[in-house]
Chains A and B, each alone.
Chain A
Amino acid sequence: EIVLTQSPGTLSLSPGERATLSCRASQTASSSYLAWYQQKPGQAPRLLIYGASSRATGIPDRFSGSGSGTDFTLTISRLEPEDFAVYYCQQYGSSPWTFGQGTKVEIK
């Protein structure tokens, strides 16, 4: 089983600042089968990024993903008020599909 470790647990930032979220895999994630999801309180998760770096339909270009192998990053270039939420990474290259524990981006 591939274990995903996200850091930091909580990121305290102000609107307009840059957010950098990390996701590290315990073993190589095949061919960058890595996705990022955003979840706001009381809502279902929403796909942001798939294939480590491809933005999902309708996702603003301030969201970008990068990385390969075991180290992946989600970057939000300039935080908007609606971006404060919890973010999860997920590997879908091999069963069991696994999620990181999440990073909460909160308003400073």
Chain B
Amino acid sequence: EVQLVESGGGLVQPGGSLRLSCAASGFTFSNYAMTWVRQAPGKGLEWVSAISGSSGTTYYADSVKGRFTISRDNSENTLYLQMNSLRAEDTAIYYCAKMDCSGTNCKSPGKNWLDPWGQGTLVTVSS
């Protein structure tokens, strides 16, 4: 069974940093691109960042570019999101998701739907 478990969320002051982790199991982690999606309280879903299976390619939403860094450790089956210069508007539940596709090569983030999602970790940016 595919499982994704996020951790690392919490309360941080504006301008602070936080690193989120997503532990993956039940599939060959390096064969799949991965992504982060966030949801502000009572709001909709916002895509944040994605990374290819080999870590060679990364993508960011304009709202986090230059402040967030996505990475992965394929030997530890773990996805990360380093968040710096945090702002109040970054307050949200952060979900990691596996980027799936029809073929056998899902390493590139392009043309991939999100399945499954982790349970999420809450990040609160407040003084």
Contacts and interface: CB of A to CB of B under 8 A. Distances in A.
State whether these chains interact: yes
Interface of A: 31, 33, 35, 37, 39, 43-47, 50-51, 56, 88, 90, 92-102
- Chain B residues touching A, majority SS: strand
Interface string B81-119: 000000000000001000010100000011111111111
Contacts of B61: 96
Interface in B40-99: 44-47, 50, 59, 61-62, 95
B115 A47 contact: yes
Contacts, number: 66
Interface residues of B, number: 25
Contacts of B44: 88, 99-102
- Name the 10 nearest CB pairs between A and B, nearest first: A47-B115, A44-B117, A50-B113, A99-B45, A35-B113, A97-B47, A102-B44, A101-B44, A95-B59, A45-B117
A95 B50 contact: yes
Given A88-B44, A92-B111, A99-B46, A46 B59 contact: no
Given A46-B116, A96-B47, A99-B45, A33 B111 contact: yes
